[in-house]
Structures are given as C-alpha cells and as structure tokens.
Structure 1
Amino acid sequence: MQAILVTERLAFTPITRGDIDRLTDLDSDPEVMRFIDRHPTPRKAMAAQVEAIIAEYARTPGFGQWIARSREAEEFLGWFALRRTAEPGHATLGYRLRRVAWGLGLASEGGRALVDYGFREHDLDRITADTMAVNERSRRVMTAVGMSYLRTYHEEFVDPLPGTEQGEVEYEITRTAWLLRRTPSR
C-alpha cells in the first residue's frame, strides 16, 4: 500500500480491514494499554473501530489514523493519528506503538512528521495531544514534537486507572510556535 507520509525510519499507510488482527494484538498488550484502558480491545470492537477509521478518511481527507511501519523491514510498529476537531483550524495528535518500538525515538519522529504535515499541508492553527498526567513517556514525546503544556483536567471514569486522580494533561503547539521552531536563529 502507498505510504501517505514517510520519515527517516517510518512509513504511514492507511488502515485497512487487513490490519484488524495487528491492531487487536497491540491493544492486547497490558503495558501498551497501561494508561489507556484496563481491558484489551476485543476483535469485534476493533473491527468496528477500523470501519469507522476507513469512513473517516472519506469525511476528512488528509486526516485520520494510519498504520506505522518500519521503512526498512515494513514491520508493523503501531499507529499514529491526526484528527480534525469541531474547532476550525484545530487537530489532535495521537499515537500508540508496540513495546518493541519504545525508547527508540520513533514516537517523537512520527509525531514531528504529523505536526509538520498538519501545519504545512492543512494550514492548521493548532495541534493538541493529551494523556494521563502520570504518563511521563507520552508527555516527553509531546514536548519532543514541540508542544507545550496547556492544562490539567479531570474526567469521571467508572473504573479509573491507577493515576487517574492526578488528572489528564493537554499539550499544544500553535502555528506561530511551529513557525518559530522552523526559522533559523540569526
């Protein structure tokens, strides 16, 4: 399948029905899901999510969720997402990687590529991302892609994960901040 975005080490391709088992396996790893959900995503639920993702491609061209593969071996590493919100000029960044891809800078590399893509190709005003406050790894990725801490907020959960009491954090990068990062200093 043709990659929609390529970095030094990653290739992003549209999600297809053929990815359901890989995505289900990803969401079945308790460490991957540690800050997301207490339970793995059942295959049937994943199949429904994949159908929604495919439909999203048609509704919001250039936005959505993509499979991330290594450029060299074409190995499935996880997914990245850049999704429009109801707010004009705003999108959210998301990512989920297999443990084999952790600690290699791949989340930062893919996140930076999507931030650049969002501002360059879609003229966005701002991109945000959020995670649990206790998820230090994800917070480091958000900082590495150029985002700054925006706020802490609290949500109600029926079965809260450990650390929920510390809240969720939102990070943001604006077009202005992105442009300043790209401008060489004199």
Structure 2
Amino acid sequence: MNMAYSSHNRKDPHGELDVSRTVGFFAYQFPLVLKSSMDGDLVTTLHNVQDALSTGVDNGFLQAAIKHLYRFSDDQIELQQRFNVQSQFSFTYVDSMVFHDSSDSPTLLIDQPSMLDGLLTMKSQNIFPHLFDFTVWNTSQGLKFTTHYNSKQFQTETVAGLLVCWKGCLLELTRI
C-alpha cells in the first residue's frame, strides 16, 4: 500500500539539517510495510510499527526533496513517474506514538495546540484528509492507549478496545 504522510517532528537526515520548519513543503510519500511481532508480543509490534513509520520519514524526506527540487531531464521520464505515484491512503503522523512511564505526559497534539490547528487546516484543505496518531503509556495498571483520528480521541486500556476504535476509524474511511 502506498501511504502519503507528513511527519511533524525534527527528523535530521544528515545530522546537520533541521527540517522541522519545512514540513509543509516536504509531504512524504513512501511505501511502508508494517509487521507484527513473531511471538505476538504487543509492545514489540508497536515498536516495529514506530520504526517503520520513522524509516519512512527518513527515506521519505529524500524522496520528497528529489520530487520537488530535482529537475528531471527528458530522458528521465520513467524515473520521474516513479516519484509521482498516487497514494491509496493519506494521513498525518505526528510522531507521538511513544511509550511514556505515566499517563500524565501530554501527547504532541495536546502539548502543541497551534500545531494541531495547522494540521486541522491542512485537513480542511484536503491536503492530508486523515489525521492519525496514537500513544501508549505503560502504567502500573498495564498499557493505556490514546488514539487521535481526525477530531476524535479514543482512550482504552485493552488491545481489543484499541481494535474497536480502529475499526470505527476504518468504517469512517469507507464513507469518504
């Protein structure tokens, strides 16, 4: 599946460049493969998903820079077409899918409301029609999930509850 997504973080592809202020321009489109843990461990699976998304950010930056800044020659038409693949699903990933020791830690969306306003503006302009992120807290009572999907927020303490939330999100996607 081709996913077009923008990451709102401070990924630094070469150790000398802060691209956080250019995120509106560099909307990454990058194919991702999300894998579950071989032994079914949820924490490992979540780490795998996070790693895949982060890898897409790093590689997607280079792909977006080439797509928007590189001038293709007439004999590079085939190469240029590889950078114009249309996505099947677009969403904004705010890179706040992290593990906290306490549920008192705010998510990026709550911590930076001006950023959320910007994301919602992009959503309303249909630049990134789907806003998605989730956070997992490791509390003394077990894992606690918070999922943001567009303007909705879901909180649950079980994987089953999380899946129910995501099912609702997917059902909403089918109506778009």
Q: Same fold (TM over 0.5)?
A: no
| Band of TM-score, shorter chain | 0.3 to 0.5
TM-score (norm 2): 0.35
Richer in strand (by share): 1
Richer in helix (by share): 2
Find the structure with the greater CA-based Rg.
Answer: 2
TM-score (norm 1): 0.33
